[in-house]
Amino acid sequence: MRLRRKRRLLRCLRKRRELKAIQNNTSDIRPQDILLMSVVRNECIRLPYFLDYYRKLGINHFLFVDNNSDDGTREFLTDQPDVSLWWTDASYKSSTYGLDWSNYLLRTYAHKHWVLTVDPDEFFVYPFCDTRPIRALTDWLDDTSVRSFGTMLIDMYPEGVVEDTPYHAGQNPFEIAPWFDSGNYMIARNPTYGNLWIQGGARARVFFHDTPEKAPALNKIPLVKWHRRYAYVSSTHALLPRGLNQVYEERGGEKTSGALLHAKLIDTLGNKAREELSRSQHYRASGEYRAYAEHLENKPVFWNNWSEKYINWRQLEILGMMSKGNWA
């Protein structure tokens, strides 16, 4: 595992040559700042609300990699004073699906910082997030010597057909997609990295009902007190050293955990699926996006009689989808 981690770090150092700094405001980063890392492509419509949400949560500085967007993403981000932006037209697939780029930026700029690594359609929810900023959480994690914080990715969806309700820039996506599956999940322990592996939910139910083993993984470890020796190895599903993946209790009880509300299932998904299918830059020859493109032609409805409408983090705790553990 130590050798595997060193290889990851060497890869990210080699791949740094693919990144061109468009706007580097990292000199503004203060020692106690909480950072956010994201790799994006053609996400301009999502970014106004995304930035607003995380600023209100308490993020101090954003690190973005723009993978050759042509929808105004780069221009929008360069107007943001708390954003540092790098651009690349290199292969997303050859960069280990963006991990080499993000690992390099995390190694270079996030050392000894708490950093949240998320996609632009993922929204972090944690215990007491409605009354406490993210710094309250990271301060408590520091006090308890915890270096990583786990979440479950929860697919959110509308009541009707996805394409019937258009999404507008700056809009809260959960105004149009407030529903989620409260059950229908499978969980196992990955013997290689020691992380949990969760599958199921709305995408598995609708897009992968015949092949549930191919459904996307829903386990994430997005919040980490970063060290330059750390590296993500599979999206944000797993890290090295292996101990960072221990975000659950093995001997009973519950560790404090959160959730990522996933706003993928809105009307932008069809165009995104077709674009990514033609680019073929994603895992398993973009098989996930192929399933999206094929099934969306039939205008599926994700809502059913077992769907739950999102209220707040306490609802997720009652349903067993996150836990405040011993944080009071």
pLDDT digits (tens, 9 = 90+) for 301-318: 999 999 999 999 999 999
Q: With CA atoms as reference, report the closest residue to 244 among 325, 114, 323, 146.
A: 146
Q: Exposed, middle or buried, 62 (CB in 10 Å: 0-12/13-18/19+)?
A: buried
Peptide bond into 241 cis (omega under 30): yes
Q: Provide the total of helices (H) and of strands (E) in the chain, helices listed first.
A: 9, 15
Query: For residues 148 and 194, is the Cβ–Cβ distance under 8 A?
Result: no
Query: For residues 115 and 130, is the Cβ–Cβ distance under 8 A?
Result: no
pLDDT of 186 reads: 95
Q: With CA atoms as reference, report the closest residue to 165 among 182, 179, 184.
A: 179
DSSP 61-119: EEEEEE-S--SSHHHHHTT-TTEEEEE--S-TGGGTTTHHHHHHHHHHH-TTSEEEE--
Q: With CA atoms as reference, report the closest residue to 110 among 22, 5, 36.
A: 36
Q: What is the pLDDT of residues 273-282, one digit of tens each?
A: 888 777 766 6
Q: What is the pLDDT of residues 184-201, one digit of tens each?
A: 999 999 999 999 999 999
**Per-residue pLDDT in tens (0 to 9) along the chain, 328 residues:** 999 999 999 999 999 999 999 999 999 999 999 999 999 999 999 999 999 999 999 999 999 999 999 999 999 999 999 999 999 999 999 999 999 999 999 999 999 999 999 999 999 999 999 999 999 999 999 999 999 999 999 999 999 999 999 999 999 999 999 999 999 999 999 999 999 999 999 999 999 988 988 899 999 999 999 999 999 999 999 999 999 999 998 777 789 999 999 999 999 998 888 887 777 666 665 678 888 888 888 899 999 999 999 999 999 999 999 999 999 8
Report helix, strand or coil for 49: helix
* C-alpha radius of gyration, the chain, whole number: 19
Distance CA 55, CA 34 (A): 10
pLDDT of 281 reads: 67
CA distances (Å), 108 to each of 26, 37, 101, 168, 257, in order? Answer: 10, 12, 11, 35, 27
Residue tagged 């330059």 (tokens):
228
Distance CA 208, CA 200 (A): 9
Report helix, strand or coil for 123: strand
- E strands of the chain, at which residues? 20-23, 35-40, 61-66, 83-87, 114-117, 122-125, 148-155, 179-181, 185-189, 196-200, 219-225, 231-234, 238-240, 258-262, 307-309
Residues 6+ apart with CB under 8 A from 27: none
Half-sphere exposure of 192 toward its Cβ, with a 13 Å CA cutoff? 9
> What token pair was written down for 256?
């404090």
Alpha carbon distance, N-terminus to C-terminus of the chain: 36
pLDDT of 135 reads: 98
At 31, which amino acid appears?
Answer: P
DSSP single-letter state for residue 8: H
Distance CA 81, CA 79 (A): 6
